[in-house]
A = this chain, B = another copy of it.
Amino acid sequence: MGRVIIPEIEAILDKEFKVLDHGYVILVDYMGGDESIIQAARVSYGKGTKKLSDDRGLIRYLMRHDHTTPFEMVELKFHCKLPIFVAREWIRHRTANVNEYSLRYSEPEGDFYIPEAGQIGFQSKDNKQGRSLQEVPEELKAKVQRYMKEISEEAFKKYQELNQAGIAREMARMLLPVNLYTRWYWKIDLHNLFHFLRLRIDPRAQYEIRVYAEVMAEITKKIAPLAYEAFEDYKLSSITLSKLEVEALDTVLEGENVDEVCENVGFRKGRELNEFKEKLEILLKKEKKLVS
C-alpha cells in the first residue's frame, strides 16, 4: 500500500497555529490516515470485513464497538507552546511521548499568559471546577490582569537577577509562576488523541486547554476525516443513558413527572437528576409535552 501522504496536510506541516496570547500548535509530522486504519482493521478482521462494503462503514463499525487498536496505527507529532498550568493538566494523558523545554538546562524564554478580559470569570456555583463568564465588573477584570502582569514581571526580574549572579537555573526557576509559557514536542497515536480530545474539547475542560484541543481537532479532521466523523458521531456528540436513566425514561415517556421518577429508580435529586433532565431535553425536544 505504501505510505499515506495527505496533500492537504503536507501544506500545513510546520505551520504555526496561534493559541492564546503567546502559544501555538504546530503539526511537525504524522504517520498514516484513514487508510492505515482500514489496513490494520482488515488484517484483524480479515474475510470478516469483506461484507462491510466501504471504508466509512468499517471505520464507523470500529468506533461504535470500541475496536480501538486500528486507530492506534496513526501517529501525530505536535510542537506546542503552552502555559505551565495547562501543561500540568495535559501531561496527565500518559500514553504519549513528550520532550519538554527544561528550566534546569535553559533559561525561560520569558513569555507569560495574561488572560483576555473576555475570559475572566467568577467561580461557577454549580460547577465546582469551572468559571462563569457573566457579570465580572470591568475594574475587577483589569485587576486580575494587572495582578498577573505584576507577579510575572516581578518574578522574571528576580529570576534574571539571580541568574546574572550565577545562581543555578534549577534553583532560580522556583519562583516563576505557572502562567509562564513552556514548549514541548508531543507525539501520540490517534486512539489516544481522540481520548484526549474528548476530555479537553468538553465544555467542562478549562478554557485555556480547550483552545489547544480545538486546534488539534481541526488538524486531526484533515488527517483522518472518516475517523474523525465517526469519533464525533459516536463519542463527542453521543448521549449515554445509564441503566437507571433508561428505566426513568420509560416512566417519563408514560407521562409521569420526571422529578418523582428519579427516586423510584434510585438516583439522587441534585446533580444526577439535573444531568438527566438535560439529556431529556436533547432527546425529546419535539416531545416536550411528555416531559414538562
Chain A residues in the interface with B (C-beta under 8 A): 1-4, 13-14, 28-32, 36, 39-41, 43-49, 51-52, 57, 60-61, 64-66, 69-70, 72-73, 75, 77, 79, 83-85, 87-88, 91-92, 94-95, 97-107, 113, 115, 120-124, 128-132, 136, 140, 143-144, 147-148, 150-152, 154-155, 158, 161-162, 165-179, 183-185, 187, 189, 199, 204, 206, 232-234, 236-246, 249-250, 253-254, 267-268, 271-272, 275, 282-287
> Judging by beta carbons under 8 Å apart, are A121 and B185 in contact?
no
Min CB–CB distance A236 → chain B (angstroms) = 8
Residues of B within 8 A of A284 (CB): 253
Q: Is the CB of B123 within 8 A of A169?
A: yes
Q: A73 vs B31: C-alpha distance in the bound complex, in angstroms?
A: 12
Residue in A28, A65, A162, A284 with the greatest tally of chain B CB atoms within 10 Å: A28
Q: Is the CB of B144 within 8 A of A40?
A: no
- Residue of chain B at shortest CB distance from A137: B165
Among B44, B94, B120, B283, contact of A101 (Cβ-Cβ < 8 Å): B44
